[in-house]
């Protein structure tokens, strides 16, 4: 197939919103034991992919248990530019979001939106499978390092896509993708999702070996199946997708899986304050390895049918932890684990196996008095009985939340700035913590 002409990517009037940042700060004081119940919202890293999957079929979709977070609004803007409308200007009402695909899609993801949200890469597979061509601005790096997409691209090429890089854009075309046997050298979350969503419309069967098996991927598979896709091996590292005829998928209603990272954040908050929390909606089976290691730190965690209860000891014990793809300990939990170790009894070594640059927030924790040394992929954390409040900066979503947790166990006042990072992935972190007794408030921009 010859490269697409620029006319084939003619855009609709660009819907490029103003950049939403926040100069708000979060102010935290040392907290007594947190007690009560926290409702765990839906998972960011699922809902953004579920939203992208609406590209695959016309109709009205209803997503439930949608977290009210900035990234959902940015994804809605990106989908709006592609031609999918969301209700009420992309506001999430009672955790519900309606998206309408009328079939008139513009397969272009512009730089202004792509650079704001990594998950924009997730429109590549569905657009290529549905429309047969895509122009997507190449996503850049992240605060925690380079994040290539070579596995996404080589997987799509194996399925017959022609891919070129032009002026910072990935341009992919395929009249109709065909099935292929794809083995990932690493179980990439994003590449698994892109190949899955491209494969549902491909001619023939696609086998993805060494697929990522995060609960959010199973959630996406379940939504695709409810749209009429034919997928075997859900939840395993071998996904088999039998392509269905283009036009045979339909819109659906779907409930987003609860967010295991937000759940872990509240476990960490209970842990450092010596508290006791019931996390409604949290799924212990999605956090098995982490909860086992939290048990080694002295936390008592009791799974219930509708959530889990956490009882914290007076002081946490230190442990060594290494991040790994699911079902290992997720890299996204790591800033929370480092924060817990910072007030643990003993020394813990934390090894990062996914993103080498993901220790940048350590300097901020050290500003709070933590004793942490990093060397390449490792951090050595010497626990202290408590930390000491100071102004700090949220460097990314997860590290920002970890600094909030650290503030709960720091004497005096901790003021966290660059809160817009936290807003990308946390649905009312401050309100939820305040409701269980944390002395915390969000101060609006002055
Ligand atoms: N990688 C490659 N080539 C590829 C794809 C990935 O080298 O083609 C490398 C990455 O550079 C990285 C590793 O593989 O070193 C993991 O990348 P993966 O593709 O698994 O991650 P992702 O899909 O880009 C998602 C989450 C991240 C989470 C990672 C790992 C979303 C939107 N993001 O990213 O979440 O850390 O999986 O679990 O789902 C966050 O929520 O704050 C966040 C960063």
**Nearest Cα residue to 221 out of 414, 58, 53, 335:** 53
Looking at residue 38, its pLDDT comes to 98
| Total residue length of the chain | 446
Compute and round to an integer the Cα radius of gyration of the chain.
22
Domains 42-255 and 260-443 belong to one CATH topology: yes
Residue 203 forms beta bridges with which residues? 178
Q: Is the CB of 377 under 6 A from ligand 1?
A: no
The position carrying tokens 């949220």 is 394
Looking at residue 87, its pLDDT comes to 79
User: Whose Cα sits closest to atom 37 in ligand 1?
Assistant: 189
Ligand 1 atom with the smallest distance to the CA of 122 is 32
Q: What's the CA-to-centroid distance between 189 and ligand 1, angstroms?
A: 6
Q: Is the CB of 189 under 6 A from ligand 1?
A: yes
Looking at residue 91, its pLDDT comes to 63
Looking at residue 103, its pLDDT comes to 94
Q: Is the CB of 179 under 6 A from ligand 1?
A: no
Q: What's the CA-to-centroid distance between 354 and ligand 1, angstroms?
A: 8
CATH class of 42-255: alpha beta
**Nearest Cα residue to 137 out of 157, 116, 111:** 111
Ligand 1 atom with the smallest distance to the CA of 332 is 36
Ligand 1 atom with the smallest distance to the CA of 212 is 20
Q: In which residue ranges of the chain is pLDDT below 70?
A: 1-22, 88-93, 140-146, 357
Q: Is the CB of 381 under 6 A from ligand 1?
A: no
Q: Is the CB of 117 under 6 A from ligand 1?
A: no
Q: What's the CA-to-centroid distance between 190 and ligand 1, angstroms?
A: 6
Looking at residue 410, its pLDDT comes to 98
Ligand 1 atom with the smallest distance to the CA of 45 is 39
The domain segmentation of the chain, as residue ranges, is: 42-255, 260-443
User: Is pTM beyond 0.85 here?
Assistant: yes
Is 230 among the residues known to form the active site? no
pLDDT digits (tens, 9 = 90+) for 153-206: 999 999 999 999 999 899 999 999 999 999 999 999 999 999 999 999 999 999
**β-pairing verdict for 133-137 and 108-109:** parallel
Q: Which of 42, 44, 45 to probe ligand 1 with, by most ligand atoms within 8 A of CB?
A: 45
Q: What's the CA-to-centroid distance between 88 and ligand 1, angstroms?
A: 31
Q: Is the CB of 91 under 6 A from ligand 1?
A: no
Q: What's the CA-to-centroid distance between 128 and ligand 1, angstroms?
A: 21
Distance CA 50, CA 299 (A): 33
pLDDT digits (tens, 9 = 90+) for 122-163: 999 999 999 999 999 987 655 555 678 999 999 999 999 999
Classify domain 260-443 at the CATH superfamily level: Enolpyruvate transferase domain (3.65.10.10)
Looking at residue 404, its pLDDT comes to 98
Q: Which of the residues 142, 150, 253, 296 is marked catalytic?
A: 142
Q: Is the CB of 425 under 6 A from ligand 1?
A: yes
């Amino acid at each position: 197939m010859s490269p697409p002409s620029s006319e084939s990517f003619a855009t609709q009037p660009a819907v490029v919103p103003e950049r939403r940042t926040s100069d708000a700060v979060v102010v935290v004081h040392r907290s007594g034991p947190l007690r009560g119940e926290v409702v765990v919202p839906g998972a960011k890293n699922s809902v953004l992919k579920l939203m992208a999957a609406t590209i695959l079929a016309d109709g009205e979709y209803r997503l439930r248990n949608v977290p009210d977070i900035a990234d959902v609004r940015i994804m809605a803007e990106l989908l709006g530019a592609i031609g999918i409308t969301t209700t009420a200007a992309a506001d999430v009402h009672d955790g519900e979001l309606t998206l309408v695909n009328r079939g008139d899609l513009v397969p272009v993801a512009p730089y202004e939106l792509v650079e704001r949200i990594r998950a924009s890469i997730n429109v590549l597979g569905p657009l290529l499978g549905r429309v047969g061509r895509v122009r997507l601005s190449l996503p850049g790096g992240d605060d925690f390092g380079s994040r290539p997409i070579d596995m996404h691209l080589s997987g799509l090429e194996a399925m017959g896509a022609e891919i070129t890089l032009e002026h910072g854009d990935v341009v992919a075309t395929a009249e109709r993708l065909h099935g292929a046997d794809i083995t990932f050298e690493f179980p990439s979350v994003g590449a698994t999702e892109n190949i899955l969503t491209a494969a549902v419309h491909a001619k023939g069967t696609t086998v993805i070996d060494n697929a990522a098996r995060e609960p959010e991927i199973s959630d996406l598979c379940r939504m695709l199946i409810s749209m009429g896709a034919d997928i075997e091996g859900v939840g395993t590292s071998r996904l088999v997708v039998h392509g269905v005829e283009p036009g045979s998928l339909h819109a659906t209603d779907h409930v987003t899986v609860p967010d295991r990272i937000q759940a872990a954040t509240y476990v960490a908050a209970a842990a450092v304050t010596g508290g006791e929390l019931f996390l409604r909606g949290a799924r212990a089976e999605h956090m098995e390895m982490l909860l086992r290691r939290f048990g080694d730190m002295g936390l008592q965690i009791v799974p219930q049918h509708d959530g889990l209860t956490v009882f914290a000891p007076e002081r946490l014990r230190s442990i060594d932890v290494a991040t790994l793809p699911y079902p290992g300990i997720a890299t996204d939990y790591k800033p929370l684990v480092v924060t817990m170790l910072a007030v643990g009894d003993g020394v813990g070594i934390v090894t990062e196996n996914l993103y080498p640059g993901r220790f940048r927030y350590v300097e901020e924790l050290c500003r709070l008095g933590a004793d942490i040394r990093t060397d390449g992929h490792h951090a050595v954390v010497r626990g202290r009985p408590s930390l000491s409040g100071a102004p700090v900066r949220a460097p990314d979503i997860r590290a920002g939340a970890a600094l909030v947790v650290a503030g709960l166990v720091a004497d005096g006042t901790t003021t966290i700035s660059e809160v817009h990072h936290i807003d990308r992935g946390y649905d009312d972190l401050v309100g939820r913590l305040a409701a269980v007794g944390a002395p915390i408030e969000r101060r609006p921009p002055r």
